[in-house]
Structure 1
Amino acid sequence: MLKYLHTMVRVKDLEASIAFYKLLGLEEVRRRDSEGGRFTLVFLAAPGQEDCKLELTYNWDGDEGLPSDSRHFGHLAYQTDDIYGLCQHLMDNGVTINRPPRCGHMAFVRSPDNVSIELLQAGDDLPPAEPWASMPNTGHW
């Protein structure tokens, strides 16, 4: 039997990363500081979904490889009840919408550490609406 535990991503600025994932609606569910290993692990989850965690790993002495393109990682995917509302909330807080939800179904953004995040509309696609329908892609995802 196999049970999903979590996805881990390394972060360069722990507080900026936590703030970003909180904009998505995730909450901190656990934290572990390791004096000997000189790192902090922060586990985040959507409310009521503590079995599906995102682990942020922060190395106290820095991580010069971050942020890199991170495309070798793939992406994290989250479902939302209102993709337009979530994308507007993210934009209002300074997050670039790399692939807008033109079709009312899917969007992509990047975390402060360049991790690609896919946002998917729950249920049926929303009808196309502005400004999303005509918004161009920015960068890549």
Structure 2
Amino acid sequence: MATTTNTNNYKFNHSMLRVKDPKESVKFYEFLGMSVVKKLSFPEAKFDLYFLSYDGPSALSRGNSTFDREGVIELTHNYGTESDPNYRINNGNAEPHRGFGHVCISVDHIQAACKRIEDAGYKFQKKLADGRMKNIAFALDPDGYWVEIISKKIGSKGADDPEEEGKETDPRTYRMNHTMIRVKDAEKSLKFYQEVLGMTLFRTVEQSAAKFNLYFLGYPGSKGMPEGGFTADYEGLLELTWNYGTEKDENFKYHDGNSEPQGFGHICVSVDNLDAACSRFETMNCNWKKRLTDGRMRNVAFLLDPDGYWVEIVQNERFAGKENF
């Protein structure tokens, strides 16, 4: 394994969500075409981790080891929550605890995909036909997390697309496209994710009338940069949402998901050499939640981004030649 680190080798590996009932949550994400590629149990600490990813014939990370993937969702279950009638997840979208926004799945035929989700009895925050944006929908997972549904097809008009009518959908072809978090100061966050974590800005969407911008970042890897800025066929992107003016308010703060009430936990970047990457972060005077040497888990570290969101740093197993856990 190399003794240096190169951010070109980094991957936006996973996004962690706490769940109340793992059976119901795993069932939902499997219904969306994902597979449990790894389960880790820590009975002494009373929690389990479920790593779900697209693994079908057309999946971009098919067959890779867990931490050599992008677009993974990690579900964290703390024992006993499933039988606690008072336990509720913070989905990140209700005041005053907003921060994390959603995960996003891109699909082959959006009308058919949304109908399939609705026919299965799952609820929606926004259906395709609702509002002005007819080309996106938001389903709700069993904990009330928002799951955006978009089309992989360039130029899709969603609910208003006659070419979509009567089509069938194949969940094995879907992508776990992106994770959205809200940020207070776009300039500071873009600098962190580009300069510290080595991500590339793929696309900027300016919604000046509505007073917010969206920034889509990722690692080009073998797929390269998106043609014409079309990113729906990618997996493992990070969407930063910046609402104008928040950076000027000294007292403004987003909820990181880890203080009460809890929900979203962290995003995770896998690196080519964990020790070298952490040494580099040290020289860049990064803020740490947990260094490699802290605590019992000596194979994971956590940085803090400018908003206090946790960014887990783990070893990409392909470079190490062995599994992390």
Q: Same fold (TM over 0.5)?
A: yes
Q: Which residue in 2 is equivalent to 1:81?
A: 272
Q: Specify the code of the residue in structure 2 equivalent to 1:40.
A: N
Unaligned runs of 5+ in 1: 127-141
The answer to whether the aligner puts 1:70 opposite 2:264 as a matched pair is: no
Q: Deviations over 1:4-53 (max 9, x none)?
A: 11000100111111111121111100001101110010000013265310
Residue type at the aligned position of 2:299:
H
* Matching residue's letter, 2:176: Y
Deviates more, 1:98-107 or 1:2-11: 98-107
Q: What corresponds to 1:5 in structure 2?
A: 177
Q: CA RMSD in A?
A: 2.3
Decide which moves more: 30-39 or 103-112: 103-112
TM-score by length of 1: 0.78
Whose Rg is larger?
A: 2
Within the candidate set 280, 285, 310, 1:116 is matched to 310
Is the deviation greater in 5-14 or in 91-100? 91-100
In 2, the alpha carbon distance for the partners of 1:86 and 1:116 equals 16
Q: Is the partner of 1:94 in helix, strand or coil?
A: coil
Task: Find the counterpart in structure 2 of residue 132 from structure 1.
Answer: none
Task: Kindly tell me the number of residue pairs found equivalent between the two proteins.
Answer: 126
- Check conservation: 2:175, 2:235, Cα contact below 8 A: no
Whether 2:190 is the aligned partner of 1:18: answer yes
- Give 1:93 shift: 1.8
Shift of 1:104: 5.5
Q: 1:93 aligns with which of 266, 272, 284?
A: 284
How far 1:117 sits from its partner (Å)?
A: 0.7
Contact persistence 1:87–1:97 (CA under 8 A): no
Q: With structure 2 as the length reference, what TM-score do the two structures score?
A: 0.36
Q: 2:46 matched to which residue of 1?
A: none
Mapped to 2, the partners of 1:121 and 1:89 lie a distance apart of: 14
Distance of 1:19 and 1:87 partners within structure 2? 18
| CA distance in 2: counterparts of 1:121 and 1:92, whole angstroms | 19
Q: How far apart, in 2, do the equivalents of 1:17 and 1:125 lie? A: 33
Q: Distance in 2 between matches of 1:56 and 1:62?
A: 14
User: 1:48-75 CA distances to partner (integer Å, 9 max, x unpaired)?
Assistant: 2653100000000328652434323210
